[in-house]
Amino acid sequence: MIGSDPVLDVRKLIVEFSSEDGPVRAVDEVSFQVRRGEIVGLVGESGAGKSLTSEALLGLIRRPPGRVAGEVWFGGRDLLTLDEAALSRIRGKDIAMIFQNPTASLNPVFRVGDQMLEAMSLHLPEPRRVLRERVIETLGRVGISSPRARARDYPHQFSGGMAQRVMIGMGISCVPSLLIADEPTTALDVTIQAQVLALIRRLARELGVAVLLVSHDLGIISQMCHRVLVMYAGRVVEDATVGALFRAPAHPYTRGLIECLPRLEGDGRLGAIGGMMPGLRSLPPGCRFHPRCPVAEPRCRVDAPLLRSIAADREVACHLAETS
């Protein structure tokens, strides 16, 4: 069951980088909430700002050259006001993270079980003997067969899918309330991807973990998430429940993205969005999508549309979206 109070509450998050031509805003006033047991997806193409958003939440953006503003409420505190020591007590314990390349996240010269033990002992007071059992139990829970033997293996002895399970295992071993997964299966094969994603769904369903899932893959987003934010050139252009978004996408960019997908049924040419996402230093005036938008009007070239509510639980940043 999805809870009512947000586990994570992000308000007007901004990420800027200084450059020769002045500050470049890569994430522009992004706001969202993730509740207990809920999976929220951030979707967009490369350069949309989705990974930067998740990194900013965790304090992983180097400052300077970066600048992060806004509020990130988690466990009654604004994470953006915490110092590194306080943040590192939260990261890996209350907030787990998994990234795209699981083998790069493991140290090649230590046994997998020892690395998991190390991560756990940072956050948990139990003696190592107890933690060692917990490592083995966790490996079993993420679907690794003969966990006792596998704990003694080195990372290179794990395939990509197995290594990603180890990362998830490491992430959940302290029972986090929030899991941030940034393209967690992009490096994996389809059948292995399905195993890993099924595991994340189960964590949300059975342990009530709140999940922020960053992905470029609309299929994954549609099968995994309860709520979706579509990002374009640093801004959220649509925010809706997964059903509403895919049944009736309200923003022309969302519609274009869905029509671009080669489907398993159906025929003919693919719908395509002409052109490409603008660079952050050469953003067009008005709506950032207007040069590629099939329905753009004169005002779209001048006025930047703000996110506005068009139905219950649904926001769109488009002048032309109709309120229902």
Partner 1 sequence: MTSSPPLLEVSDLVKHFPVRSNPLAAFWPGASPRVVHAVDGVSFTIESGETLGLVGESGCGKTTTGRLVLRAIDPTSGRIAFEGQDITALPARRLLPFRRKVQIVFQDPYSSLNPRLTVGRAVAEPIRVHRIAEGARAAARVRELLDMVGLSTEYLHRYPHELSGGQRQRVGIARALAAGPRLVVADEAVSALDVSVRAQILNLLVDLRERLGLAYLFVSHDLGVIRFVSHRVAVMYLGKLVEVAPTAELFKQPRHPYTQALLAAIPTVGDGATSIFDDPTRLLEGELPNPIDLPRGCRFASRCPHRMSRCDEVEPALREPAPAHAVACHLYP
Q: Which residues bind partner 1 (CB under 8 A)?
A: 45-46, 159, 161-162, 189-195, 197-198, 200-201, 205, 216-220, 222-226, 241-243, 245-247, 256-265, 269-274, 276-277
Omega of the bond leading into 298 within 30 degrees of 0 (cis): no
User: 117 or 224: whose CB is closer to partner 1?
Assistant: 224
Closest approach, Cβ 36 to partner 1, in A, equals: 18
Of 58 and 244, the one with the shorter C-beta distance to partner 1 is 244
CA 167, CA 151: separation in Å to the nearest integer? 13
Write the DSSP assignment of 201-256 as a string of letters.
HHHHHHH--EEEEEES-HHHHHHH-SEEEEEETTEEEEEEEHHHHHHS--SHHHHH
> What's the farthest any 2 CA atoms get from each other in the chain?
69
Residue at token pair 């395509």? 272
| Distance from the Cα of residue 62 to its chain's centroid | 19
State the minimum distance, in angstroms, from the CB of residue 78 to partner 1: 31
Least separation in angstroms between CB 129 and partner 1:
32
Rg (CA), the chain: 21
Considering the complex, state which of residue 84 and residue 206 has its C-beta at the smaller distance from partner 1.
206
How many angstroms separate the CA atoms of 228 and 246, rounded? 10
Question: Min. distance of Cβ 199 from partner 1 in angstroms?
Answer: 9
Shortest approach of partner 1 to residue 60 CB, angstroms?
23
Query: Residue 58 or residue 225: which is nearer to partner 1 going by CB?
Result: 225
Helix (H) or strand (E) holding 253: helix 252-259
**Closest separation in Å from C-beta 93 to partner 1:** 26
Residue closer to partner 1 by CB (options 27, 273) is 273
CB of residue 49 vs partner 1: minimum separation in angstroms? 14
The residue among 45 and 303 lying less far from partner 1, judged by its C-beta, is 45
DSSP 238: E
Using N-to-C axis directions, what is the helix angle for 112-123 and 160-172, rounded to 10°?
20
What residues form DSSP beta bridges with 181? 98, 213
How do the residues of the chain divide into helix, strand and coil, expressed in percent and rounded to 5? 35, 25, 40
Q: How far apart are CA 207 and CA 147, in angstroms?
A: 21
Closer residue to partner 1 in complex, CB, 129/269: 269
- Record the tokens describing residue 113, joined without a space: 């079980």
Closer residue to partner 1 in complex, CB, 192/304 = 192
How many Cβ atoms are within 10 Å of 89's Cβ, its own excluded? 13
> Is 16 or 239 the residue whose CB approaches partner 1 more closely?
239
Q: Closest Cα to residue 100, out of 211, 186, 219?
A: 186
Tally of CB atoms within 10 A around 274? 9
Minimum distance from residue 285 beta carbon to partner 1 (Å): 21
CB of 236 closer than 8 Å to CB of 302: no
For the record, the structure tokens of 238 come out as: 């649509």
Q: Provide the minimum distance between the beta carbon of 76 and partner 1 in the complex, in angstroms, as a whole number.
A: 31
